[in-house]
């Protein structure tokens, strides 16, 4: 199948493209910066040949990118937490989904996968999340943009378009061009100080997410929604896991969840005075301390897609972070001697 992958030089997009190629599909990457393609795909041992440059809000460019494609996987999104970028983020991600998914549906493309986020179901301390829950608007522009894009895609699903939606938890794994938010957070915990708090973290390995996207694309056309996540771990469990994997004991500090949430509120106010692209927001602190978890039983039962043990993801990610220069030999301890995962 000829498949367009938006966000082709992003973390999820590049791994999804690699999984599609491994499954024998013909991939077209849609990127903003073609010069980035080699840097992202060389470490994966791949040389994409069909690359189109297009902004996802540029309807004509997206139409050109879709020409001749039987399927599309929309991974592109703008992630920027600065206040000054709020309206750009909200408009770009919402409009981007409308343009890419809308144009694909209008052209009669029947294999469409939209990458959403579990945060569209997130209620702090609420019940475990499922894909049947109502959509929630978060308090950040990014969260709102994902919710608004989601509502648009749901309307298309309701009108008969065979779009499938994936809902990733925090995406983690090796070979991250960013590094993106959760990988960067883990690196800073090992580099500076590990923050232990209430609640926990639910991750999904980028390689499992990529496999889910290939499966969703290959199914007979039809609308559906699937969670992508590994088992949830508490912050002390994540700390102990990192200690076991590395053989080190990183510096740690324990802060109760309510204090972090208060700090997030202060961060929101501080950003009005001095803007910064760091996730010290009330929204991020709610996610970090009151994440209720999401169940992937249906994804595994219906699709046969399994999500690996978070220990395996963390081992590969930390090894890669060392090889890519994001962490030092002392910070990854005994993992420094192990080979970089493919
Ligand atoms: N990371 C997470 O933990 C997480 C969790 C849940 C859901 N998600 C969702 O998963 C998807 C992939 O996230 P990711 O972590 O892989 O992000 P990422 O690495 O930042 O990739 C995003 C991609 O979108 C591209 N992009 C941004 N603005 C664009 C525009 N205006 N037109 C065209 N392309 C544009 C970027 O291009 P460049 O390569 O040029 O920067 C990048 O390739 C997103 O939809 C995100 O909302 C992420």
Give the span between the Cα atoms of 125 and 218, in whole angstroms. 36
pLDDT for the residue 273: 79
Residue located via tokens 């100080």: 193
Is the model's pLDDT at 140 over the cut of 90? Answer: no
Is the model's pLDDT at 339 over the cut of 90? Answer: no
**299 in Cβ contact with 279 (< 8 Å):** no
Q: Is the CB of 309 under 6 A from ligand 1?
A: no
Q: Is the CB of 58 under 6 A from ligand 1?
A: no
Tokens describing residue 85: 């970028």
Question: How far away, in angstroms, is 228 Cα from ligand 1 center?
Answer: 16
Pick the CATH number of 2-172+203-230+292-306 from 3.20.20.80, 3.40.50.720, 3.40.640.10, 3.30.450.20: 3.40.50.720
Tell me the per-residue pLDDT of 178-215, one tens digit each, with 9 for 90 and over: 999 899 999 999 998 999 999 999 999 999 999 999 99
Q: What's the half-sphere exposure (Cβ side, CA atoms, 13 Å) at 329?
A: 3
Domain ranges for the chain:
2-172+203-230+292-306
**Pocket probe mutation, ligand 1, options 16, 31, 62, 79, max atoms within 8 Å of Cβ:** 79
Give the span between the Cα atoms of 48 and 64, in whole angstroms. 18
Question: What confidence category does residue 327 fall into, taking pLDDT thresholds of 50, 70 and 90?
Answer: very high
Please count the other Cβ atoms lying within 10 Å of the Cβ belonging to residue 281: 22
Q: Which of 308, 151, 314 is nearest to 239 (CA)?
A: 314
Sequence-ordered alpha helix ranges (H) in the chain: 11-22, 36-41, 59-66, 86-106, 141-158, 181-191, 206-218, 235-246, 257-273, 282-290, 297-303, 310-323, 329-332
| Bond prior to 179 in cis (omega within 30° of 0) | yes
Give the span between the Cα atoms of 312 and 333, in whole angstroms. 16
Q: Is the CB of 12 under 6 A from ligand 1?
A: yes
Q: What are the C-alpha distances in Å from 288 to residues 77, 111, 125, 227, 257?
A: 21, 34, 11, 19, 8
Is the model's pLDDT at 328 over the cut of 90? Answer: yes
Question: How far away, in angstroms, is 76 Cα from ligand 1 center?
Answer: 4
Tell me the per-residue pLDDT of 75-119, one tens digit each, with 9 for 90 and over: 999 988 777 888 999 999 999 999 999 999 999 999 999 999 999
Q: Is the CB of 200 under 6 A from ligand 1?
A: no
**Ligand 1: which atom is nearest the Cα of residue 58?**
32
Q: Is the CB of 173 under 6 A from ligand 1?
A: no
Tell me the per-residue pLDDT of 226-235, one tens digit each, with 9 for 90 and over: 999 999 999 9
Is the model's pLDDT at 340 over the cut of 80? Answer: no
Tell me the per-residue pLDDT of 266-322, one tens digit each, with 9 for 90 and over: 888 887 878 776 777 888 899 899 999 998 999 999 999 999 999 999 999 999 999
Q: Which of 138, 183, 147, 184 is nearest to 167 (CA)?
A: 147
């Amino acid at each position: 199948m000829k498949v367009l992958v938006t966000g082709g030089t992003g973390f999820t997009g590049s791994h999804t493209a690699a999984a599609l190629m491994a499954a024998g599909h013909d991939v077209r990457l849609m990127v903003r910066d073609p010069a980035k393609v080699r840097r992202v795909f060389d470490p994966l041992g791949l040389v994409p040949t069909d690359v189109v440059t297009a902004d996802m809000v540029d309807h004509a460019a997206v139409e050109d990118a879709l020409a001749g494609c039987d399927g599309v996987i929309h991974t592109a999104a703008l992630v920027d937490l600065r206040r000054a970028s709020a309206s750009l983020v909200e408009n770009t991600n919402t409009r981007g989904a409308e343009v890419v998914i809308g144009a694909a549906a209008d052209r009669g493309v029947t294999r469409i996968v939209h990458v959403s986020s579990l945060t569209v179901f997130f209620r702090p301390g609420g019940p475990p999340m499922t894909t049947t829950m109502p959509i929630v608007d978060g308090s950040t522009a990014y969260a709102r943009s994902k919710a608004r894009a989601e509502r648009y895609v749901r309307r298309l699903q309701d009108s008969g378009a065979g779009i499938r939606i994936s809902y990733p938890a925090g995406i983690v794994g090796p070979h991250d061009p960013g590094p993106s938010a959760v990988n960067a957070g883990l690196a800073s915990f090992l580099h500076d100080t590990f923050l232990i708090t209430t609640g926990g973290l639910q991750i999904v390995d980028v390689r499992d997410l990529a496999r889910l996207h290939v499966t969703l694309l290959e199914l007979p056309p039809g609308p559906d929604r699937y969670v992508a996540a590994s088992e949830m771990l508490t912050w002390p469990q994540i700390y102990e896991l990192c200690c076991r994997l590395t053989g080190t004991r990183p510096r740690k500090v324990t802060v109760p969840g309510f204090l972090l949430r208060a700090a997030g509120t202060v961060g929101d106010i501080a950003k009005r005075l001095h803007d910064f692209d760091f996730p010290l927001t009330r929204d991020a602190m709610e996610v970090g301390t009151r994440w209720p978890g999401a169940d992937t039983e249906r994804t595994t039962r219906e699709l046969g897609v399994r999500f690996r043990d978070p220990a395996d993801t963390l081992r590969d990610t930390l090894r890669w972070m060392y090889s890519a220069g994001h962490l030092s030999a002392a910070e990854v301890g005994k993992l420094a001697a192990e080979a970089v995962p493919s």
